[in-house]
Chains A and B, each alone.
Chain A
Amino acid sequence: MRSTPVTFENRDGLKLFGIFEQPDQDASTTTVLLLSPGIKMRVGPHRMYNKLARILVDRGLNVLRFDFYGLGDSEGTIEESVLVNVYNSIQDGRYINDTLDAMDWLEQTHGQQDFILGGLCGGAITGMLTGCTDARVSGLLALGLINVFEGGEDNFTRFATDGQLNSLKEGYVKKLGDWESWKRLLTFKSDFRVIFKIINKPVRLLVKKLQGLFTRGDELSELELPPALQGTNANPKFAPAFFRMVRDAKKLLLIFSGADRLLYEFEEKFENIYKTKLAPYQSQYQVITIPQANHILSMKEWEEEMHRHVAEWIDINYQKNN
């Protein structure tokens, strides 16, 4: 694998830093852009992107890992001082232009015209928001794709998914015989908002069902959330971007971690809501869950499983490069 440190300018004249990795022989015509996850730089947590890059390059693809403006080594500054606000700005598309500029640079300097956009979490959603509008993008390799805005711990009760509430419910049931837990409850130290939300769940589900009877997802305008998602933290740009990707026959590999709330978020605030609308596109995207894995796939076996799925997906969809 050849690794070359590179810099290029984004449209605002800021220098972005990255590493361009290519197979030792045979120039590839497809480049995977691994987009920075959240505020972490181009190497990703525990060098996840470096290791993933090797898998991709071994399969004949080029990889560009680069830092968005204000992050890693790149120039520029981020004005937000609260981390959750930075995350939300990324999920709202903050780095679409940097991603487009990276593709332009690769096209101009290396003749690349076919791109797979990939990444973890914020990198994945940036890839989807960019890929849905650019014809050069043929695929999305999304790890822990995020379809919601971050509520932060302060908003946990408001944005907790049903999956999270189920897990909490199990915890509360187990503690029924525990005097300390009762003491917490009786001295008002327990989180009553969460408890109320758990108790109230059947009512909420019924209301959602009734709302669904009167509205279908595909009748909605592009950025309008269906009633079942209104008032939630669902990202209104997510569904339109997803559907544009699949309608344009782009290939999507979505890998989720089994112990990550993002899996519940995706199922509850996207897949279940748009079930009918998604049906014709089932062959277009693949959803894989790595059981018990955490958000950053910190265990070697989880990461290796992710590598196997990525390699398989590349082999099936990008055989020309092998």
Chain B
Amino acid sequence: MNEELKFIDSAGEQLFVIEHQPDNPQPTKAYVFLHPFAEEKLWSHRVYVTTARAFCAQGCLVMRFDFRGHGDSGGEFLNSSLERHNQDIDAVISHVKQRYPEIQSLGLFGLRLGGTLASQAAARRGDVDELVLWDPVLSGDRYMQEILRSNLAAQMAVKGKVEVTRDDLIAQMKAGKPINVEGYYLTHDYFQELSTLNLQATEFPEGLKCCLVQIVKNPKQPFNKQYEQFFERFAEGSQLQKAQEEPFWKEIKTFYDRADNLLDQTLNWLD
């Protein structure tokens, strides 16, 4: 396995990409990894790396990249938009197709919001054969409420009280003042775009296969009904599974550099 890191162009800005190249010099299957939102990306980064290496060891070409405004890519987080995210995804897929014309199967992988963006891209492009989704965000609206809650929690931690309520935060954004989410500044436009994401209402191309894994605290926990409903859209050969893991996309007491339960189930499906 070889790992090559480089910048490619995305709408005139630098996009940081790592290619995990399998030992087979002419791989026929490629996976593009889409990372989650803001600081969740950092906390889950190592799991992405070990997962990419495991996919690669199975013969897949894996491309990991940082959306503009994240990681080592150019651009500012403040300018984030779904259009820019789509441009970045398209730039990486074009790069794969150009550099590896022998690729016959293209998959997208994503955790949380990364899974949402992967699903949207698969629906939009029509050339994606497989999706691997780990606990994807189905409702952007609900997720954005969660993000607002993290701002309130930060206020509590720093000031001992909530000075700016959820409604105030939204009003602030509307008035053109981005709000702070763990050091990332979120504009109203981006907040609105993410809030309107709704995977339940997304139409997927026929034949698209999906490995959807719900992360659970306890293996006895039942399947999320919304995941069951969402899963019905995918082609034969798809799989809905549960995997017991901790929420490694945020700070927890465990040092999480791999998610073995998620990985085992996913690799079995890939096989």
A residues bordering B, Cβ < 8 Å?
A: 3, 5, 7, 15, 17, 19, 39-43, 45-48, 50, 70-73, 77-78, 80-86, 152, 259, 292, 294, 296-300, 303
Q: Does B203 contact A (CB under 8 A)?
A: no
Q: Do A78 and B257 touch across chains, with their CB atoms under 8 A apart?
A: yes
For the complex, give the distance between the alpha carbons of A43 and B6 in Å.
Answer: 16
Across-interface contacts of A5 in B (CB, < 8 A):
5-7, 16, 72
Q: Does B252 contact A (CB under 8 A)?
A: yes
For the complex, give the distance between the alpha carbons of A72 and B42 in Å.
Answer: 9
Q: Do B39 and A45 touch across chains, with their CB atoms under 8 A apart?
A: yes
Q: Do B158 and A294 touch across chains, with their CB atoms under 8 A apart?
A: yes
For the complex, give the distance between the alpha carbons of A18 and B257 in Å.
Answer: 19
Which B225-271 residues have a C-beta within 8 angstroms of A? 251-255, 257
- Chain A, Cβ-Cβ closest to B258: A77
B residues bordering A, Cβ < 8 Å?
A: 3, 5-7, 14, 16, 18, 38-39, 42, 45-46, 49, 70-72, 77, 154, 157-158, 180, 182-185, 251-255, 257
Q: Select which of B5, B7, B157, B158 is within 8 A of A7 by beta carbon.
A: B5
Interface residues of B, dominant DSSP: mixed
Q: Select which of A45, A73, A80 is within 8 A of B255 by beta carbon.
A: A80
Q: Which residue, of A15, A43, A292, has the highest number of chain B Cβ atoms within 10 A?
A: A43
Q: Do B183 and A48 touch across chains, with their CB atoms under 8 A apart?
A: yes
Across-interface contacts of B5 in A (CB, < 8 A):
5, 7, 17, 73
For the complex, give the distance between the alpha carbons of A274 and B71 in Å.
Answer: 40
Contacts A17-B5, A46-B39, A83-B253; A73 near B183 (Cβ below 8 A): no
- Can you list 30 pairs linking A and B with CB atoms under 8 Å apart? A3-B7, A3-B14, A3-B72, A5-B6, A7-B3, A15-B3, A19-B72, A39-B46, A43-B71, A46-B38, A46-B182, A46-B184, A72-B45, A72-B46, A77-B257, A78-B255, A80-B255, A81-B255, A83-B251, A83-B252, A83-B253, A83-B255, A86-B255, A152-B253, A259-B158, A292-B158, A296-B183, A298-B182, A299-B180, A299-B183
For the complex, give the distance between the alpha carbons of A303 and B182 in Å.
Answer: 12
- Chain A, Cβ-Cβ closest to B43: A40
Q: Do B154 and A298 touch across chains, with their CB atoms under 8 A apart?
A: yes
Q: Do A50 and B72 touch across chains, with their CB atoms under 8 A apart?
A: yes
Across-interface contacts of B158 in A (CB, < 8 A):
259, 292, 294
Contacts A50-B72, A73-B18; A81 near B45 (Cβ below 8 A): no
